[in-house]
């Protein structure tokens, strides 16, 4: 494992000076000068396209700067490849760790440096002893077992394997790229504990994330990129979320939630005493032009309720009505025909054809309108796709660009475009801004407000309380599959929502009043 980098060495562990990088005439980075001190967690923030990934790839040796230089411990270095970066003590932990599924954790960690017995046989016992000793020293003896197969690891354990790999060499700089995107809260805490220990041992940590709250829990300093330039560096203890947002997007946080009240009296969606395997006796209404937010902690049953409302799981008792008409929700197609649009939380796994084009992903929802004599009209499909690309400001090089190559925010806009192409009367959005940057969030908030103003009834599921409070006309709170309370916009604050989300006496839950 790596030796402790000496925190007493002069200068930062890593620095970049006047870094410029162009791609086909487009300025990705312009004059970036930034250092990464030892024993410090530096958060790197910015919208998609701000230049974060390009900068990380330059310090990892994936890209060469067009101008400027990289300094490692004060010495200029030309990094030709990731292997070159590793030789100079720089390791980047990718968002999706590369794990060999059919070998043990220890073999994954020490791949390329496995101990051998005479005859070149793997010294498995010696390997496991080495691994246990390293885990004990790092404080992770109970987090992972050396013998566990790679295929059985949790997301947090997969991240830990990548970190342990990084520490098999003398690392001085560790960079994390969106490491918590698929982790539970407990796994996030485990990872943060490790990062803090590495920082305290003198490593320079670079941490890339869109998640504002975790940045303030972990970072010592925050560096913000905007449009390829360094917008500013702030001491995390002496700044706040509002200032960081202003640096990122050039406007105040309050401007993100420009909601106008649009709710009418007509009830569009009625949920009456709905019970499934995961939710119990749920009553819920959403009116025309109203945004209702479903809040609650992980496991509260919000996504499970949404799945029932769109015909994805069977309803054992109770009733769902649209415009007063009872629905028979046997399949998701029944919900679509009833005018219900649904954007699930896992957009890549559940809502997108990743290798398909933007044009195809939008048009596939309305093939019945695009077909003529059993053939899809290419011109109609392109016109439809272009309409939504313009309307939602989907940033794509072309309509034929593969969706998997878009940013998370633009992928989410494609999901919404597909749902909106069917002109839904009701829209159910499950974590609509998960994993996207603050600028894309602002655009989706604006779209939600526009849809509500046009009369769409919107049910939003979100785990971010500022988002819930900023978007909703009403907040409905769930715990353990039941509704524990309902708050109007004027009465909803973080304390009130959390009190209902953590209510323990569910024998007589407070339900919203059916109308």
Indicate the domain borders of the chain. Answer: 14-91+171-253, 257-339+424-515, 351-422
Per-residue model confidence (pLDDT) at position 483: 94
Q: Do domains 14-91+171-253 and 257-339+424-515 have the same CATH topology?
A: yes
**Are β-strands 325-326 and 317-322 bridged in parallel, bridged antiparallel, or unpaired?**
antiparallel
In whole angstroms, what is the distance from residue 175 CA to residue 208 CA?
8
User: Which residue stretches of the chain have pLDDT < 70?
Assistant: 1-11, 24-25, 48, 169, 181-184, 251-259, 367-377, 503-515
Per-residue model confidence (pLDDT) at position 236: 95
Per-residue model confidence (pLDDT) at position 256: 65
Say what the pTM is: 0.61
Per-residue model confidence (pLDDT) at position 503: 67
- Residue 233: which of 244, 225, 222 has the closest Cα? 222
Q: Which secondary structure element, helix H or strand E, spans residue 235, and what is its range? A: strand 229-235
Per-residue model confidence (pLDDT) at position 251: 62
257-339+424-515 in CATH: which number? 3.40.50.300
CA distances from 238 to 216, 235, 243, 500 (A): 10, 5, 10, 32
Per-residue model confidence (pLDDT) at position 3: 45
Q: Which two tokens stand for residue 288?
A: 């025309």
14-91+171-253 in CATH: which number? 3.40.50.300
Per-residue model confidence (pLDDT) at position 205: 95
Cα Rg, the chain, nearest whole Å: 25
């Amino acid at each position: 494992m790596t030796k402790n980098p000496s925190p007493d060495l002069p200068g930062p562990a890593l620095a970049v000076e006047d870094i410029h990088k162009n791609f086909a005439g487009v300025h990705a980075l312009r004059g970036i000068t930034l250092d990464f001190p030892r024993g410090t967690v530096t958060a790197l923030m910015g919208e998609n396209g701000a230049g974060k990934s390009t900068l990380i790839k330059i310090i990892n040796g994936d890209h060469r700067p067009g101008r400027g230089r990289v300094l490692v411990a004060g010495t200029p270095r030309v990094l030709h490849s990731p292997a070159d970066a590793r030789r100079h003590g720089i390791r980047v932990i990718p968002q999706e760790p590369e794990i060999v599924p059919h070998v043990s954790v220890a073999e994954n960690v020490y791949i390329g440096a496995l101990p051998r017995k005479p005859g070149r046989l793997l010294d498995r016992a010696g390997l496991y002893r080495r691994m246990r000793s390293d885990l004990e020293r790092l404080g992770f003896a109970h987090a992972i077992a050396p013998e566990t197969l790679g295929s059985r690891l949790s997301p947090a354990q997969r991240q830990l394997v990548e970190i342990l790999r990084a520490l098999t060499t003398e690392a001085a700089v560790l960079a994390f790229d969106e490491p918590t995107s698929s982790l539970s809260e407990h796994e996030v805490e485990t990872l943060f504990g490790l990062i803090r220990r590495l920082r305290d041992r003198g490593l320079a940590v670079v941490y890339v994330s869109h998640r504002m709250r975790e940045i303030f829990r972990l970072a010592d300093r925050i560096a913000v990129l905007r449009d390829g330039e360094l917008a500013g560096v702030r001491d995390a203890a002496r700044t706040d979320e509002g200032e960081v947002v202003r640096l990122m997007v050039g406007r105040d946080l309050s401007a993100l939630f420009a909601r106008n009240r649009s709710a009418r009296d007509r009830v569009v969606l009625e949920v009456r005493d709905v019970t499934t395997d995961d939710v119990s006796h749920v009553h819920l209404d959403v009116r025309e032009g109203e945004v209702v937010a479903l809040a609650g902690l992980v496991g509260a049953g919000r996504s499970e309720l949404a799945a029932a409302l769109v015909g994805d799981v069977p309803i054992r008792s109770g009733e769902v009505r649209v415009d007063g008409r009872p629905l028979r929700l046997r399949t998701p197609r029944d919900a679509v025909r009833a005018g219900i649009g649904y954007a699930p939380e896992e957009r890549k796994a559940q809502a997108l054809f990743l290798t398909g084009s933007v044009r195809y992903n939008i048009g596939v929802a309305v093939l019945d309108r695009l077909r003529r004599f059993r053939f899809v009209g290419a011109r109609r499909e392109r016109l439809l796709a272009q309409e939504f690309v313009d309307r939602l400001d989907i940033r794509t090089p072309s309509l034929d660009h593969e969706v998997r190559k878009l940013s998370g925010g633009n992928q989410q806009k494609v999901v919404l475009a597909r749902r909106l192409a069917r002109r839904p009367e009701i829209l159910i959005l499950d974590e609509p801004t998960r994993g996207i940057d603050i600028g894309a969030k602002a655009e989706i908030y604006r779209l939600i407000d526009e849809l509500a103003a046009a009369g769409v009834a919107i049910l939003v599921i979100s785990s971010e309380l500022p988002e819930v409070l900023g978007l909703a006309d009403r907040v409905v709170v769930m715990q353990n599959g039941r509704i524990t309370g309902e708050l109007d916009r004027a009465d909803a604050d973080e304390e009130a929502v959390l009190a209902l989300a953590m209510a323990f006496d569910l024998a007589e839950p407070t339900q919203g009043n059916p109308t």
